[in-house]
């Protein structure tokens, strides 16, 4: 099923995410975690694409297993900054063969050696290429606080508008911990004429290390209220997990109460965290 169709329906959608293994030895374990998450029957599941693109086959296989075993639609990610056109064509063919209709088209993080593709510089180049080479439902990434490499939020929004105009059906946000940042972004995006559905991305922080890593990579603001929670409970894995799930569930409840209908949870291959979020929202979704 196309995600654009799901988003057009009345009602709320909650989607969950997994990432592929780095090596084939880890494939079985990762697929098992992904299938446990799929058993929770989210609206759809995202399967990320390893930085550098070397594990794209795993992304495709895990997405296909989720669809075939649980009938949960999947959103397979695809990055371009370390790829050439031939590799992207092969990945599109693989996704098509496996019955995957939805793609998240991304640039990808810049490789540490600085060597980037001569075929694709930005996600917009990939979006245009996919639009010319297949009939996929296409999503893209957006950054409520501005992308970390972009000095000005207004410029980032101009580039986002270019991506949407190139043919995106929807957007998914980077994680954020302060809902006001998201509401402000939505106002600016709509003013700019970005009218596609925007899925709010929420990450349950279940250990202090994950918070430092995620905040450093994304540049996202960590509100004092949340910092205090991590300072207090970060030393106890069980307490931090529960506190992280509750903080994320509260963020989601506030989003729903403010009319946001589409939520994506970065569940990071953790079925227990995914189940905790679903349970905290039972009766609400
Ligand atoms: P782009 O939209 O190309 O933007 C990158 C930067 O370039 C921005 O600063 C933008 O303002 C700027 N820019 C864009 N167009 C122009 C232009 N024409 N001229 C000048 N500057 C321009 N990474 C992975 O490796 N695998 C994944 O599966 C993955 N999934 C993700 C899912 C989501 C929802 C999000 C938010 C991120 C994900 N990422 C993933 C991380 C993503 O690859 C990085 O954030 C990357 O740095 C930017 O990707 P993008 O597609 O947003 O890039």
Domain with 59 in it: what CATH number? 3.20.20.220
Output the pLDDT for position 244: 98
Task: Give 144-173 as a DSSP string.
Answer: TT--TT-S-HHHHHHHHHHHHHTT-SEEEE
Output the pLDDT for position 114: 86
Phi and psi at residue 72, in whole multiples of 5°? -90, 125
Residue 275 maps to a domain: no
Measured distance CA(269)–CA(17) in Å, rounded: 7
DSSP state of 247: H
Output the pLDDT for position 258: 98
Output the pLDDT for position 115: 87
Nearest ligand 1 atom, CA 148: 9
Contact between 142 and 172 (Cβ < 8 Å): yes
Measured distance CA(31)–CA(28) in Å, rounded: 5
270 Cβ closer than 6 Å to some ligand 1 atom: no
Residue 163 maps to a domain: yes
Residue 155 maps to a domain: yes
Output the pLDDT for position 179: 98
Residue 257 maps to a domain: no
Residue 210 maps to a domain: no
- Token pair 């300072």 is found at 231
Residue 213 maps to a domain: no
108 Cβ closer than 6 Å to some ligand 1 atom: yes
For CA atoms 7, 104, 37, 69, give the dihedral sign.
positive
Domain that holds residue 108: 3-203
Output the pLDDT for position 126: 98
Measured distance CA(186)–CA(168) in Å, rounded: 17
Digitized pLDDT (tens) for each residue of the chain, 285 residues in all: 999 999 999 999 999 999 999 999 999 999 999 999 999 999 999 999 998 778 999 999 999 999 999 999 999 999 999 999 999 999 999 999 999 999 999 999 999 888 888 999 999 999 999 999 889 999 999 999 999 999 999 999 999 999 999 999 999 999 999 999 999 999 999 999 999 999 999 999 999 999 999 999 899 999 999 999 999 999 999 999 999 999 999 999 999 999 999 999 999 999 999 999 999 999 998
Residue 183 maps to a domain: yes
Burial 172-189 (b: 16+ CB within 10 A, else e): bbbbbbbbebbbebbeeb
The whole model's pTM is what?
0.98
| Number of domains within the chain | 1
**Which protein residue has the closest C-alpha to ligand 1 atom 28?**
48
Q: Where are the alpha helices (DSSP H) in 39-178?
A: 56-70, 85-97, 123-132, 153-165
Q: Where are the alpha helices (DSSP H) in the chain?
A: 3-8, 27-38, 56-70, 85-97, 123-132, 153-165, 179-191, 208-218, 224-233, 237-257, 271-280
Measured distance CA(157)–CA(150) in Å, rounded: 10
Output the pLDDT for position 134: 85
Which of 22, 82, 107, 121 has most ligand 1 atoms within 8 Å of CB, for mutation?
A: 107
Output the pLDDT for position 275: 98
Residue 214 maps to a domain: no
């Amino acid at each position: 099923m196309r995600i654009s169709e799901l988003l057009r329906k009345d009602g709320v959608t909650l989607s969950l995410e997994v990432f592929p293994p780095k090596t084939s030895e880890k494939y079985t374990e990762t697929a098992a975690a992904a299938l446990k998450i799929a058993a929770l029957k989210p609206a759809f599941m995202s399967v990320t694409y390893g930085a550098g693109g070397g594990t794209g086959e795993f992304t495709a296989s895990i997405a296909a297993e989720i669809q075939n075993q649980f009938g949960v639609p999947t959103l397979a990610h695809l990055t371009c900054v370390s790829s050439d056109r031939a590799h992207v064509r092969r990945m599109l063919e693989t996704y098509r063969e496996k019955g995957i209709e939805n793609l998240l088209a991304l640039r990808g993080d810049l490789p540490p050696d600085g060597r980037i593709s001569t075929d694709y510089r930005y996600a917009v180049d990939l979006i245009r290429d996919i639009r010319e080479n297949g009939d996929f439902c296409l999503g893209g990434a957006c950054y409520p606080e501005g992308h970390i490499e972009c000095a000005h939020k207004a410029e980032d929004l101009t580039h986002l508008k270019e991506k949407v105009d190139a043919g995106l059906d929807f957007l998914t946000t980077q994680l954020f911990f302060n809902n006001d940042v998201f509401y402000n972004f939505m106002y600016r995006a709509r003013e700019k004429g970005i009218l596609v559905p925007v899925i709010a991305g929420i990450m349950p922080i279940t250990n202090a290390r994950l918070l430092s890593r995620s905040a450093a990579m994304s540049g996202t603001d960590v509100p004092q209220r949340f910092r205090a929670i991590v300072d207090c409970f970060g030393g106890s894995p069980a307490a931090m997990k529960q506190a992280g799930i509750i903080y994320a569930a509260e963020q989601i409840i506030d989003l729903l109460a403010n009319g946001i209908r589409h939520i994506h949870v970065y569940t990071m291959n953790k079925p227990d965290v995914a189940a905790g979020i679903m349970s905290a929202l039972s009766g609400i979704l």
